[in-house]
Structure 1
């Protein structure tokens, strides 16, 4: 069951495209809240709003604020008539219709159906950088842009974490800074510049319809885990890597690493990456690490070698010099933070992501 609360909007805070932060008085206390105007409209001071406070009550990483479910004072007007019949967040009270790239009403439908490479499922070697954590996205772009500043980059957000694209301050900042040329929300995720029914279609559209040179794929914010082998949302990175292989792209893996995570299973090379490479990956992929003899990289390299040796696929470890990575990361237009730690506290996850971006750039013709 959802923990429901009703409150009164006391203050309108920071707003950006797709999201407005609020202060809502609930039972006499100020409560931080987030409204997604495309779903619930834009509340005004004095409005009574209905909130979902479940994650906030539990202190979860996805629960830094309550979520506005409805505005009891002024429900938003009906949207104007528009094409699109693909329903996302299906069979939930907030399901909505979107116009997907593939569907019959889309201006891209003909290309998605008739383009020879799309019909054949052929990315024609397009590099696709795949990361488990959403926080890797700006670092990947920093490395990619340092090597190929003119490359056209598409971001595909999957549906294993946050579903609304607007939930991500990070992605919004990268769009505003023109570091992303286009965005696609795939599966049940919604709110990108474009919508796709599957990751496969999203990648093919990025390459052949939207003209991207490189795609980056991550889940949205809100990674879920359980300290078990199979019960974590980022396991779907293996499915994405297999999709890239099937579609004849060039998969580039951002390994999840940390030099400071207090959990042993995530120290050095995370068991998440080990599981994906050794037990889920069925095709080829390049796994990028720094060519560095300082800790934790020898340990990470040994862990990677073991995972590669056990793989049913054909992953390849690519060790690259890390000179200048710090300069690349310093160009990021958004703060770099992963699992609550900034790049100044632990640069290792961002270094691997930036090098993956550099490697993707090197694969371009």
Structure 2
């Protein structure tokens, strides 16, 4: 069930494409809320609004904000032109999009005639916070190459929620975005990962693709009960379409939960049991103690028998982020607090730079 409250807008803190960061008064208390302007329209200070307050009342980390359901002082909105594919289907918030696959799309025949990704590298992460370090390292070394981000519907559905994407696009580091499934708001809309990969290759002419869910992840502490398990099926899809599947392992030595120490149990489950094909897993050559933990996990789960484990000497992540004036945070921790996590994502970029591009340095 949805918990709803009536509030009044008292401040508009920030605006970006499709997202308003606002402050609302509810029963005398001023609280934070988000308004998706492309869904619920423009808001002004003083407007009376209906809010979804469910996540805040449950004290959730994922989705833990108020969201505007409707603006009682601005009840009208216009239907956008074109498109017949619905996302958030059969809900009060279903939205119409111009999907690449639509029979009226100018790209319909391109999808139909597709044959192969021709070994196009596709890097697949689990957490949205892997995006920024990967992009920073890749684009610093390949400023003229085209990088496309595919956002799945494993977490946040509107891409507007991601301030990372907004920042990276404004800096010219992400060239195009695609939203799939019930995720929406990308530069291009697709129904599933297969047509999104085809779009990236044939329409957007991508040199590399990064795939992950949007902000947030659902986890339950159980072996299979986490949305990041989608990584396995996505890697299989890349292989099926004759692409080059590359997986980012979730690695941390700052997470206090034992199941996420070293290589997270999420990654081990995906690599050991879910993905059906051989994939490349770049691993940063951390210091001796940390690498010993990781190697024990790799060996005890026999991951090297199934996958291509490649060790990368990567000491450049922080410098790459600072070069573009980018800040990172994951699970509340910044780079200094959890550098191994961010280096794991960056290592995938250096694998592409040093191995796939045929310019592997002698010290690697």
Question: TM-score per shorter chain, which class?
Answer: over 0.9
Paired with 2:302 and 2:336, the residues of 1 have a C-alpha distance of: 30
Return the match for 2:264 from 263, 267, 270: 270
Deviation of 1:147 after TM superposition, in Å, equals: 2.6
Deviation of 1:356 after TM superposition, in Å, equals: 0.3
Deviation of 1:302 after TM superposition, in Å, equals: 2.3
Paired with 1:71 and 1:183, the residues of 2 have a C-alpha distance of: 29
**1:345 corresponding residue in structure 2:** 337
**1:27 corresponding residue in structure 2:** 27
Contact 2:42 2:74 in 1 (8 A): no
Deviation string, structure 1 residues 298-354 (Cα, Å, up to 9, x no partner) = 21122123334487xx31100011233332232344321111100011100111100
Question: Cα RMSD over matched residues?
Answer: 1.5
Unaligned runs of 5+ in 2: 359-364
Structure 2 counterpart SS, 1:287: strand
Deviation of 1:297 after TM superposition, in Å, equals: 2.1
**2:224 corresponding residue in structure 1:** 230
**1:306 corresponding residue in structure 2:** 300
Contact 2:312 2:350 in 1 (8 A): no
Pairing 1:325–2:324 present: no
**1:37 corresponding residue in structure 2:** 37
Pairing 1:195–2:189 present: yes
Structure 2 counterpart SS, 1:154: strand
Pairing 1:97–2:96 present: yes
Deviation string, structure 1 residues 197-218 (Cα, Å, up to 9, x no partner) = 0111101110111110100000
Question: Quick check: 62-71 or 279-288, which moved more?
Answer: 62-71
**1:70 corresponding residue in structure 2:** 70
**1:4 corresponding residue in structure 2:** 4
**1:363 corresponding residue in structure 2:** 356
**2:105 corresponding residue in structure 1:** 106
Return the match for 1:315 from 281, 304, 307: 307
Size of the alignment, in residue pairs? 357
Deviation of 1:291 after TM superposition, in Å, equals: 2.3
Return the match for 1:284 from 260, 265, 278: 278
Structure 2 counterpart SS, 1:227: coil
TM-score by length of 2: 0.94
Paired with 2:75 and 2:335, the residues of 1 have a C-alpha distance of: 42
**1:17 corresponding residue in structure 2:** 17
Paired with 2:357 and 2:102, the residues of 1 have a C-alpha distance of: 30
Contact 1:154 1:212 in 2 (8 A): yes
Structure 2 counterpart SS, 1:295: helix
Contact 1:129 1:360 in 2 (8 A): no
Paired with 1:185 and 1:297, the residues of 2 have a C-alpha distance of: 36
Unaligned runs of 5+ in 1: none
Return the match for 2:130 from 136, 153, 156: 136
Structure 2 counterpart SS, 1:112: helix
Paired with 2:352 and 2:245, the residues of 1 have a C-alpha distance of: 9
Paired with 1:363 and 1:155, the residues of 2 have a C-alpha distance of: 19
Paired with 2:168 and 2:301, the residues of 1 have a C-alpha distance of: 33
Return the match for 1:125 from 110, 119, 122: 119
